Chains A and B, each alone.
Chain A
């Protein structure tokens, strides 16, 4: 069976696309289910892409033990419109199959919930619109439906949430997204300028611009083949950790805001501002836009900036420790967080939850340690794991990760001081290796980000695929609010803090 897939590693050389064996669907099906039966494996991306006259399916399965990424492929002509669904065997594949259904109209037999993820302009079935989508319904005199959104009262992105409630209790939540679809993947393919593609990657999800920017640059470097220097790798990791610190502190503020704990909210908001201002001091943008570019950077770290980062982080670390120990020991806050919105380990595994959400349910999903990239290859990270799976766990893991990230940045800056500090300018005219396929995995603050691309014979990007961690985790949110009070939904939602635009692309 060894010739049924190709093996690669994260942040390494690309594969020759011709080397990836193309399986018949039954073999593909068997092989994928066989691989996913192994608990060390999880699917990082499964999608279909149009090639000349056919549709090609790629499934990337990451092995957390031997750090390999296995790539399986299947090709079908356009007539093949009905396939056996993988979802009954491996529930975490449901969202990928829904996306393939959305893009190519492929019917997956036995899929329990074949609903398009979004409604793009170029969808195969134009009669299918958001307005006539049949939401899940339960017929009963006692139950009532509450629809929230797509336009919300707060400054948040659009999304529609349909609750079925029995009084105050939520029986079922259906989440309808797709209002933010911008055609990101198609744009990657169509844009000719490498710089434009970089900027586009930073706009996939505004709160993860460093992570998505890095995933893109890493993919381009992988396809072009150069090895970036140690100094640049360290600086990228520092950028990534700063983003994690800033967002985690901001989320803690928002969690306090949702339960009307004013002191926690305003303190954390103030601390977050210091972190993003440090980022601005470094690269001129508070969200780190422009920091990550392929091959080099416009904003190399220097001693002044390194000192500023260390000074601010020490200050923030101390103050954040103090406020979080207050927040998580205040009875009125604990009453709102504890045992609210619990996701079980089983649910986390079957929804394919990634990142923080998985780590609060006792599932180790951290690309930094399982498929290390950039400087994490030489700097092992030990991720925090909690097992309660409730809002409190998702709050606490943020404070643990902030503390850990501050320590990592300290160590990385120490390492950086020992390097030769040779950093080039960004390279925008790489010649990508023709007929190649590459995968790039990054652990953003929200979870694993996967970018993958294939080039054609002339080295032009043939297809580009982005997967944001939110894609999996929205389902975990829908499960978490079952049997909870509807008034606890906002705080559950905030504890996941998922991306709407990352999901909608």
Chain B
């Protein structure tokens, strides 16, 4: 339960910190940390405008997306507490809850009938599809390492599996989770959330037609997603079993560092060329596979 609330709390700060870091890195003061949340408050008070070409799907998609993400947050454990929803194989459930939201966002983009949004939907579908194997191979590696298949059990036993090479997996795990989080949240280098150029957008172009309340839901969803991936990072980095207050402050520290890393990473590089994105994302799967092979060999399950 505490984990779920911590995710909700960090989601408040997360986008503001990224924005602030990017401003500072470019020599500006930048808006306050709560500016994105204030923007959401404004959006929530507005009504939504629907174009004539859209139907029911367009109207329900933002709500489904947010619901999926909120449910996914329930699967994430915190410290040695079990997650609110926890069962064998729950990481598949987690992944497809997020995918459900994405699926609806893609078909709602197609629903608008705009050529821009169709293009964005096409790109988003391709890139998410390519990112999925990396996530599953990584989780399979963890599962094999610990011998469990639910988030709660995996992370509870991660540092106590008696395997001496666990540090390697946690480093690879951290790297992959950060990269997958960047892809899933449409950040650099795959997508650029700041651009105004429809032709280069991926995620932004899909929500061009959404306005007011619906747009707020979509934004809340993407902030939550950041916090969820941050929570996964925390689970990989911090061993369970310490006192709850130490765990909570470490949780916030990990999230803060995660946001700062994203802010800096986005300040000093350009985004990928669109046709380089599939290669970039596939590389992550390859790294995950290499980690998987290494553990097969080290745990002598191979041959």
A415 at interface by CB-CB < 8 Å: no
The residue on A at minimum CB distance from B191 is A260
CB distance from A257 to the nearest CB of B (A): 8
A138 at interface by CB-CB < 8 Å: no
Give Cα A145–Cα B114 distance, bound, in whole angstroms: 11
Across-interface contacts of B28 in A (CB, < 8 A):
266
A168 at interface by CB-CB < 8 Å: yes
Contact, CB under 8 Å: B276 / A335: yes
CB distance from A441 to the nearest CB of B (A): 35
Contact, CB under 8 Å: A487 / B270: no
B153 at interface by CB-CB < 8 Å: no
Contacts known (A144-B115, A490-B197); A263 close to B26, Cβ less than 8 A: yes
CB distance from B263 to the nearest CB of A (A): 10
Contact, CB under 8 Å: B270 / A153: no
Interface string of A474-505 (1 = CB under 8 A from B): 00000000000111111100000000000000
Contact, CB under 8 Å: A336 / B192: no
B167-225 residues with Cβ-Cβ distance < 8 A to A are 188-189, 192, 194-200
Contact, CB under 8 Å: A486 / B199: yes
CB distance from A325 to the nearest CB of B (A): 15
Across-interface contacts of B22 in A (CB, < 8 A):
262
Contact, CB under 8 Å: A260 / B197: no
A330 at interface by CB-CB < 8 Å: yes
B271 at interface by CB-CB < 8 Å: yes
Contact, CB under 8 Å: B270 / A148: no
Pick 14 A–B contacts, CB within 8 A, sort by A: A144-B115, A146-B119, A259-B271, A260-B194, A262-B26, A262-B266, A266-B26, A266-B28, A330-B269, A332-B272, A335-B270, A485-B275, A488-B200, A491-B200
Contact, CB under 8 Å: B274 / A153: no
Across-interface contacts of B198 in A (CB, < 8 A):
148, 153
Interface string of A322-353 (1 = CB under 8 A from B): 00000000101101100010000000000000
Across-interface contacts of A379 in B (CB, < 8 A):
none
Give Cα A109–Cα B296 distance, bound, in whole angstroms: 75
Contact, CB under 8 Å: A488 / B273: yes
Across-interface contacts of B275 in A (CB, < 8 A):
168, 485
Contact, CB under 8 Å: A332 / B269: yes
A147 at interface by CB-CB < 8 Å: yes
B25 at interface by CB-CB < 8 Å: yes
What is the count of residue pairs linking A and B with beta-carbon distances less than 8 angstroms?
Answer: 82
Interface string of B3-37 (1 = CB under 8 A from A): 00000000000000000001001111000000000
Give Cα A333–Cα B28 distance, bound, in whole angstroms: 22
CB distance from A484 to the nearest CB of B (A): 10
With A145-B115, A153-B196, A260-B194 known, 17 other A-B pairs at CB within 8 A are A146-B116, A146-B119, A148-B198, A148-B199, A153-B197, A168-B119, A258-B195, A260-B266, A262-B268, A263-B26, A263-B267, A332-B189, A332-B270, A333-B270, A335-B272, A335-B276, A487-B200
Contact, CB under 8 Å: A335 / B273: yes
Contact, CB under 8 Å: A490 / B26: no
Contact, CB under 8 Å: B188 / A260: yes
Interface string of B98-123 (1 = CB under 8 A from A): 00000000000000000110110000
CB distance from A426 to the nearest CB of B (A): 41
Q: Which of B197, B267, B274 makes the CB contact (< 8 A) with A262?
A: B267
Decide if the interface of chain A is mainly helix, strand, loop or mixed.
Answer: helix
CB distance from B294 to the nearest CB of A (A): 28
A53 at interface by CB-CB < 8 Å: no
CB distance from A335 to the nearest CB of B (A): 6
Give Cα A261–Cα B200 distance, bound, in whole angstroms: 14
Interface string of B241-270 (1 = CB under 8 A from A): 000000000000000000000000011111
Contact, CB under 8 Å: B199 / A260: no
CB distance from B197 to the nearest CB of A (A): 4
Interface string of A249-292 (1 = CB under 8 A from B): 00000001011111101100010000000000000000000000
Interface string of B115-141 (1 = CB under 8 A from A): 110110000000000000000000000
CB distance from A342 to the nearest CB of B (A): 14
Give Cα A265–Cα B25 distance, bound, in whole angstroms: 12
The residue on A at minimum CB distance from B208 is A153
A39 at interface by CB-CB < 8 Å: no
A134 at interface by CB-CB < 8 Å: no
CB distance from B98 to the nearest CB of A (A): 24
The residue on B at minimum CB distance from A485 is B274
Count how many chain B residues have C-beta atoms less than 8 Å from C-beta atoms of the other chain.
30
A130-154 residues with Cβ-Cβ distance < 8 A to B are 144-148, 153-154
Across-interface contacts of A489 in B (CB, < 8 A):
199
The residue on B at minimum CB distance from A163 is B199
CB distance from A232 to the nearest CB of B (A): 39
Contacts known (A146-B115, A335-B276, A486-B119); A258 close to B197, Cβ less than 8 A: yes
From A147, A261, A340, A491, name the one whose CB has the most chain B CB atoms within 10 angstroms: A261
Q: Which of B119, B188, B270 makes the CB contact (< 8 A) with A336?
A: B270
Contact, CB under 8 Å: A485 / B195: no
Contacts known (A168-B275, A332-B272, A333-B270); A154 close to B196, Cβ less than 8 A: yes
Give Cα A168–Cα B276 distance, bound, in whole angstroms: 12
Contact, CB under 8 Å: A168 / B270: no
CB distance from B287 to the nearest CB of A (A): 19
Across-interface contacts of B188 in A (CB, < 8 A):
260
Give Cα A261–Cα B268 distance, bound, in whole angstroms: 6
The residue on B at minimum CB distance from A146 is B115
Across-interface contacts of A258 in B (CB, < 8 A):
195, 197, 200
Q: Which of B25, B266, B273 makes the CB contact (< 8 A) with A485?
A: B273
Contact, CB under 8 Å: B269 / A261: yes
Give Cα A148–Cα B205 distance, bound, in whole angstroms: 13
Contact, CB under 8 Å: B194 / A336: no
Give Cα A260–Cα B197 distance, bound, in whole angstroms: 11
Interface string of A140-177 (1 = CB under 8 A from B): 00001111100001100000000000001000000000
Contact, CB under 8 Å: A490 / B268: no
Give Cα A270–Cα B27 distance, bound, in whole angstroms: 10
Give Cα A485–Cα B122 distance, bound, in whole angstroms: 14
Contact, CB under 8 Å: A488 / B274: yes
Give Cα A147–Cα B115 distance, bound, in whole angstroms: 8
The residue on A at minimum CB distance from B205 is A153
From A259, A490, A491, name the one whose CB has the most chain B CB atoms within 10 angstroms: A259
The residue on B at minimum CB distance from A168 is B274
Give Cα A265–Cα B270 distance, bound, in whole angstroms: 11
CB distance from B238 to the nearest CB of A (A): 31
Give Cα A261–Cα B266 distance, bound, in whole angstroms: 8
Give Cα A263–Cα B194 distance, bound, in whole angstroms: 14
Interface string of B263-301 (1 = CB under 8 A from A): 000111111111110000000000000000000000000
Contacts known (A146-B119, A258-B200, A490-B200); A263 close to B273, Cβ less than 8 A: no
Contact, CB under 8 Å: B273 / A262: no
A164-215 residues with Cβ-Cβ distance < 8 A to B are 168
**Among all A-B residue pairs, the 8 with the closest Cβ atoms:** A259-B270, A260-B192, A266-B26, A261-B270, A487-B274, A490-B197, A332-B270, A260-B271
CB distance from B288 to the nearest CB of A (A): 23
Give Cα A332–Cα B280 distance, bound, in whole angstroms: 12
B19-63 residues with Cβ-Cβ distance < 8 A to A are 22, 25-28
The residue on A at minimum CB distance from B200 is A487
Across-interface contacts of A261 in B (CB, < 8 A):
269-270
Give Cα A221–Cα B46 distance, bound, in whole angstroms: 59
